[in-house]
Amino acid sequence: MNETRTTCPYCGVGCGVLLRQGPEGVSVRGDPDHPANFGRLCSKGSALAETLTSEGRLLQPRVDGADVSWDVALSRVADGFRTTLERHGPGSVAFYLSGQLLTEDYYVANKLMKGFMGSANIDTNSRLCMASTVAGHRRAFGSDTVPGTYEDLDEADLVVLVGSNLAWCHPVLFQRLVAAKAARGTKVVVVDPRRTATCDAADLHLALRGGSDTSLFNGLLAYLHANGHVDHTYVGAHVSGLDAAVAMAQRDLSTTGLSAEDLAGFHALWARSERVVTVFSQGVNQSTGGTDKVNAILNCHLATGRIGRPGCGPLSVTGQPNAMGGREVGGLANMLAAHLDLEDPVHRSAVGRFWDAPAVADRPGLKAIDMFRAVRSGQIKALWIACTNPVASMPEADLVAEAIRTCDLSVVSDMYATTDTARCAQIVLPALGWAEKDGTVTNSDRTISRQRGVVAAPGSARADWDIFAEVGRRMGWREAFSYASPAEVFREHAALSGIAGRLGRDFDISDLSGLDDRGYAALAPTRWPVSGARQGGRFFGAGGFFTPDGRGRMIPVATPEETASQPRYPFRLNTGRIRDQWHTMTRSALTPRLSRHLAEPFLELHPADAVTLGLRAADIAQVQSPLGRALLRVLVTDRVAPGAPFAPMHWTAEFASAGRVDALIPGAVDPVSGQPDLKAARVAIS
Ligand code: SF4
């Protein structure tokens, strides 16, 4: 029986999937040869075949609620963007994209906006996911380079998981860690205010005060320095900023709420473990101090030389399947392409020449929160949202809905007709989805894998790269957007990365630019760097960093002051994912067995809070912030701390209108990365 190799469309682990089409329909199993999962799949991945249904699919383009031809819809989009640009300039247009787009989709959209429309107003839901990591990497390394790999988990003596419920959010990677622990006794520390399922594998759970991660790692750095654990040979050869970072760490007197015994245990474990990997995720990134938290972690690895060696290093695990691919094409408002810098005139001009582009954006665009505020204020008059559902997933979600509804031109391309966002847009374009389209994704350890289309799409859906390219041609840039296949797009993307390599940047896959169509079709999972001087090697071992002087930088960071508790809103609401749903549930809710795990929106509440509030298990709690309210089923549990309840972020108006938690979250952002704080909304509960 024929099987097709592809990759899972959910999380950043990037598991390989074998898709089988037989008389009984489509089935899936884990790809035993894929280096991310070696055949394993989690509950979501195993249920993928059940999501291949036409239920809820958008079959035909729609304008103002009426089905129209592609020709009519695309003319409206192209004419609308062209006239907006002519009348109001490049600051009046914007794209909002997704870490679930394939790299080829992302590349074409980024080229259209940054090179031809002349604006950097292109941001993505990755801003909600790992923008703080990108900013932290760039401050420390001079580039957005993830130094760690999954193999490092197999070889580490100690794995520290910070703000990461790996057991539920990256389950196959968690299984890999559990296997390593069983095989070689790897110690595991979990740093999380909640006692999550991940804590089942922990030798030490540090249930620190929410938001105090910088304090924890500043304390660790001060300890390592005071007790002779700094690797002065590595630092002397490769790192700057040790003294300033240590001095700041010593001055950081903020508290984590942890006992002296737990802190001493953590410090001693770190110091005596030769090989340490720190895995971090949204609990670090989604914070007004997210970038500083990232640098506090990186500081400890740089100071001790626990980076660039097997079993050592920081490892950011991305939430989405192609957040890394999006970063590689520059799909964020403050990035260019191929990890080149938008602010650098040499980089801009190199990309402009390569694209033969008339107007490369010369300043950063608006990041997600500011972008939707600018739509609401009327500054942005033409907006295109692709493959994401911000009316459910963004903070200030109700204001995002209002912004889209009142925008002069709002376009959504998506698989589904019924998302909260699609319902708000004037023009809706049907896009191909997983198992229907071809392209590549890059997972959390820099491995580029193919997604392959084998299933016919319902209706007249088209690939996102194809839709963006067609609009580019209709706007007059025929040559630049004349792609006939995703393979052509990929070859151009790979060739552009060669320029980055020659300019001394980290992302260079130019050896793949020579792939013919057959080679692209057969492309096996490939971890970059695949070209240039570092081909096949590690980053930041003996090799230099990507800063002007080639040295890694330790950044002095301070723990931010906790927002004062407001009498009307005394609780600090933490949000996150559950094991068996994905983002805003557009795909995962299609399979009933995934809904059996946790079937409705809920609120984890500490027993002491439940008593104070007079709430019992299974009651309905009203959770209120200044922005709105949600109604959630009460789950009384000591997994959360008093005053710090937790609610999942998945439910949308489509599935449970009263369960929309992101409508309660204010748009407070990290000042460096622009990433919103989705973990600390002040709420009242009754
Ligand atoms: Fe998919 Fe992530 Fe599960 Fe792997 S771990 S099967 S990539 S959801």
DSSP state of 489: H
Q: Alpha-carbon Rg of the chain, whole angstroms?
A: 24
Percent of the chain with pLDDT over 70: 99
For the Cβ of 170 lying below 6 angstroms from any atom of ligand 1, the answer is yes
Residue 62: helix, strand or coil by DSSP? strand
Q: Ligand 1 centroid to 171 CA: how many Å?
A: 7
For the Cβ of 331 lying below 6 angstroms from any atom of ligand 1, the answer is no
Structural domains of the chain in order of their starting residue, each with its CATH number:
3-51 (2.20.25.90), 62-129+322-492 (3.40.50.740), 131-317+548-553 (3.40.228.10), 571-685 (2.40.40.20)
For the Cβ of 171 lying below 6 angstroms from any atom of ligand 1, the answer is yes
Q: Within a 10 A sphere around the Cβ of 364, how many other Cβ atoms?
A: 17
Assigned token pair, 216: 């924890």
C-alpha 673/C-alpha 131 separation (Å) is 6
Looking at residue 1, what is its pLDDT?
A: 61
CB 465 within 8 A of CB 489: yes
For the Cβ of 45 lying below 6 angstroms from any atom of ligand 1, the answer is yes
For the Cβ of 30 lying below 6 angstroms from any atom of ligand 1, the answer is no
User: From the centroid of its chain, how far is CA 489?
Assistant: 23
For the Cβ of 266 lying below 6 angstroms from any atom of ligand 1, the answer is no
Q: Whose CA is nearest to atom 4 of ligand 1?
A: 15
Q: What are phi and psi of 111, to 5 degrees?
A: -65, -45
* Residue of 170, 279, 445 to test ligand 1 pocket, by largest number of atoms within 8 Å of CB: 170
Looking at residue 655, what is its pLDDT?
A: 67
For the Cβ of 172 lying below 6 angstroms from any atom of ligand 1, the answer is yes
Assigned token pair, 658: 């009263």
Contacts for 295 with CB less than 8 Å, ≥ 6 apart: 136, 139, 140, 554, 555, 557
Looking at residue 320, what is its pLDDT?
A: 87
For the Cβ of 14 lying below 6 angstroms from any atom of ligand 1, the answer is yes
Q: What are phi and psi of 16, to 5 degrees?
A: -75, 140
- For 538-579, write each residue's pLDDT tens digit: 898 776 899 999 999 999 999 887 766 788 999 999 999 989
* Residue of 6, 7, 15 to test ligand 1 pocket, by largest number of atoms within 8 Å of CB: 15
C-alpha 592/C-alpha 37 separation (Å) is 25
User: Of 136, 144, 153, 157, which Cα lies nearest the Cα of 539?
Assistant: 144
Q: What are phi and psi of 482, to 5 degrees?
A: -90, 25
User: Of 557, 442, 520, which Cα lies nearest the Cα of 144?
Assistant: 442
Assigned token pair, 181: 């622990």
Assigned token pair, 3: 């099987």
* Residue of 6, 7, 11, 585 to test ligand 1 pocket, by largest number of atoms within 8 Å of CB: 11
Looking at residue 595, what is its pLDDT?
A: 87
ipTM of the predicted structure? 1.00
C-alpha 407/C-alpha 135 separation (Å) is 30
User: From the centroid of its chain, how far is CA 269?
Assistant: 30
Which atom belonging to ligand 1 lies closest to the Cα atom of 10?
8
Q: Ligand 1 centroid to 73 CA: how many Å?
A: 35
Assigned token pair, 251: 């001055």
Which atom belonging to ligand 1 lies closest to the Cα atom of 172?
5
For the Cβ of 41 lying below 6 angstroms from any atom of ligand 1, the answer is yes
User: Which parts of the chain sit beneath pLDDT 70?
Assistant: 1, 543, 563-564, 654-656
Which atom belonging to ligand 1 lies closest to the Cα atom of 8?
1
**Dihedral (CA of 217, 188, 578, 607) sign:** negative
- For 446-489, write each residue's pLDDT tens digit: 999 999 999 998 899 999 999 999 999 999 999 999 999 999 99
For the Cβ of 648 lying below 6 angstroms from any atom of ligand 1, the answer is no
CB 140 within 8 A of CB 552: yes
Q: CA 654, 681, 630, 368: dihedral to nearest 10 degrees?
A: -20
* Residue of 172, 198, 445, 585 to test ligand 1 pocket, by largest number of atoms within 8 Å of CB: 172
C-alpha 63/C-alpha 428 separation (Å) is 7
Write the CA distances from 354 to 348, 349, 357, 531, integer angstroms: 10, 9, 8, 19
Which atom belonging to ligand 1 lies closest to the Cα atom of 170?
5
Which atom belonging to ligand 1 lies closest to the Cα atom of 582?
8
